[in-house]
């Protein structure tokens, strides 16, 4: 028979477990170094860091349980986003992928069904096959005839309205604005929406960077979201919240989406400080987005002056062809990392965020100029560039995101 542990033995055992659990994750953290690196990072606009002001504001947030709809700050943020987008309700979630997939799953009731989208769309290419997994749906990826954006003509040609049992009827059209940084014409969106509604098809918008559209055009969120039954608005991209995305729609839709969020494992508890950080980002960072667009235009102009081919550009993104000056992307990434003050690149896509420094843009242009000169000295002769004209109204955007095989990690 085992001896009965004494109180002293139990306390000692508990102390041992407590010691095993104890950890200090702050060892070696250098915030200043991180801030310097992020100011020179062109890989994405998701990498921005919360400022001291944002953290201070978030620390004052409510601390209720959002699964029980008991957090004041989360409820207030949802109500605000619903109001500015002209929708009845909103749901705060962890990521843009989650809000997109929740929207698609909530719209689609039972297979067979299909989702029509741009062939380059995030929901089709970069969400780990979520449409097939979560919604048992097939996608109808369409490459725009004009090379830039889907038109109602493209949609009509691709949508499946037939009752043919061999086919999966189109139940949802998903658009993305911006897509690769470029803005979809609002009149075309309205035309697609009118066609969809006349055909009994729902409309979803992946508005991960809809803030950039509003900043560039001055259009209200209400106007931009009106043609859609649901919209996903990412809070951790352009406006720089540390985490979060909002899904908006009518009350019945959001109530059902909340159920699926729980099923997906996405219900979160004390979300108030995250909602507060997002509210701070909306208030303080949205006004900075037009500056990121101006800096992206400066970067594009500098690349053109060097002779670099521009594949496409818009708002805060520039896609460039390194081969146009005899350079491959891996080579450029490695040289950028080797600078005394490293630059972080991911391939053909250069993304400007609100914490990108102008010095980083100048340093990148200087590096590319040096490398272009080196290649010319080695005998490289530039060919005829297939690039977007500087005054192109609809730049051609086939496949433009070429990822480097070299990881650039700050």
Distance CA 45, CA 96 (A): 13
143 exposed, middle or buried (CB, 10 Å; 0-12, 13-18, 19+)? Answer: middle
Helices (H), 264-357: 272-284, 289-306, 329-337
Distance CA 144, CA 396 (A): 10
Q: Are the beta carbons of 354 and 285 closer than 8 angstroms? A: yes
Q: Are the beta carbons of 289 and 211 closer than 8 angstroms? A: yes
pLDDT at residue number 7: 72
Domain with CATH 3.90.1150.10 in the chain: 29-47+285-410
Pairing of strands 202-206, 230-234: parallel
The Cα-based distances of 177 to 320, 351, 395 in angstroms read 20, 16, 15
Domain with CATH 3.40.640.10 in the chain: 61-283
What would the two tokens of residue 373 be? 């000169």
Pick among 3.30.390.50, 3.90.1150.10, 1.10.1740.10, 3.40.50.720: CATH of 29-47+285-410: 3.90.1150.10
Distance CA 44, CA 77 (A): 25
User: 3-state class of 314 per DSSP?
Assistant: strand
Distance CA 211, CA 177 (A): 9
What would the two tokens of residue 132 be? 């097939």
User: 3-state class of 380 per DSSP?
Assistant: coil
- Digits of tens for pLDDT over the chain (410 positions)? 677 777 788 999 999 999 999 999 999 999 999 999 999 999 999 999 999 999 999 999 999 999 999 999 999 999 999 999 999 999 999 999 999 999 999 999 999 999 999 999 999 999 999 999 999 999 999 999 999 999 999 999 999 999 999 999 999 999 999 999 999 999 999 999 999 999 999 999 999 999 999 999 999 999 999 999 999 999 999 999 999 999 999 999 999 999 999 999 999 999 999 999 999 999 999 999 999 999 999 999 999 999 999 999 999 999 999 999 999 999 999 999 999 999 999 999 999 999 999 999 999 999 999 999 999 999 998 875 545 444 444 444 455 666 666 666 55
pLDDT at residue number 398: 52
User: 3-state class of 198 per DSSP?
Assistant: helix
Q: Is the peptide bond before 178 cis (omega within 30 degrees of 0)?
A: yes
In our burial notation (b when 16+ CB lie closer than 10 A, e otherwise), range 121-142 reads bbbbeebeebbeebbebbbbbb
Quickly count: other Cβ atoms within 10 Å of residue 50's Cβ. 17
Q: Which fold has domain 61-283?
A: 3.40.640
Residue of 6, 125, 79 whose CA lies nearest to 275: 79
Distance CA 260, CA 111 (A): 17
pLDDT at residue number 391: 46
What would the two tokens of residue 364 be? 């990148």
């Amino acid at each position: 028979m085992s001896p009965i542990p004494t109180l002293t033995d139990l306390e000692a055992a508990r102390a041992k477990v407590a010691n095993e659990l104890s950890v200090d994750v702050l060892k070696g953290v250098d915030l200043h170094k991180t801030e310097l690196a992020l100011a020179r990072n062109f890989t994405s606009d998701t990498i921005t860091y919360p400022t001291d002001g944002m953290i201070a504001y978030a620390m004052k947030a409510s601390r209720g349980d959002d699964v029980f709809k008991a957090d004041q700050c989360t409820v207030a943020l949802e109500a605000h986003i619903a109001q500015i987008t002209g929708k009845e309700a909103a749901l705060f979630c962890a990521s843009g992928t989650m809000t997109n997939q929740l929207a698609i799953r909530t719209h689609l009731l039972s297979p067979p069904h299909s989702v029509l989208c741009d062939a380059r769309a995030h929901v089709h290419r970069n969400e780990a096959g979520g449409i097939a997994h979560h919604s048992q749906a097939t996608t109808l990826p369409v490459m725009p005839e004009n090379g830039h954006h889907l038109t109602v003509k493209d949609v009509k040609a691709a949508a499946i309205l037939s009752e043919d049992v061999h086919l999966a009827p189109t139940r949802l059209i998903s658009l993305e604005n911006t897509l690769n940084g470029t803005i979809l014409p609002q009149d075309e969106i309205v035309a697609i929406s009118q066609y969809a509604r006349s055909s009994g098809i729902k409309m979803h918008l992946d508005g991960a960077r809809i803030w950039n559209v509003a900043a560039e055009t001055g259009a209200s969120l209400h106007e931009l979201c009106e043609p859609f039954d649901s919209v996903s608005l990412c809070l951790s991209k352009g406006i720089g919240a540390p985490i979060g995305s909002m899904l908006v729609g009518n009350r019945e839709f959001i109530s059902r989406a909340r159920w699926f969020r729980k099923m997906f494992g996405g219900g979160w508890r004390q979300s108030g400080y995250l909602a507060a950080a997002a509210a701070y980002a909306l208030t303080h960072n949205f006004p900075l987005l037009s500056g990121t667009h101006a800096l992206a235009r400066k970067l594009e102009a500098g690349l053109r002056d060097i002779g670099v081919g521009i594949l496409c550009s818009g708002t805060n993104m520039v896609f460039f062809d390194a081969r146009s000056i005899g350079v491959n992307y891996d080579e450029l990434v490695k040289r950028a990392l080797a600078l005394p003050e490293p630059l972080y690149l991911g391939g053909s896509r250069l993304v400007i965020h609100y914490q990108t420094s102008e010095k980083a843009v100048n340093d990148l242009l200087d590096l590319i100029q040096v490398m272009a000169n080196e290649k010319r000295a080695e005998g490289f002769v530039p060919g005829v560039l297939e690039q977007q004209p500087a005054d192109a109204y609809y730049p051609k955007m086939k496949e433009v995101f070429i990822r480097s095989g070299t990881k650039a990690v700050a």
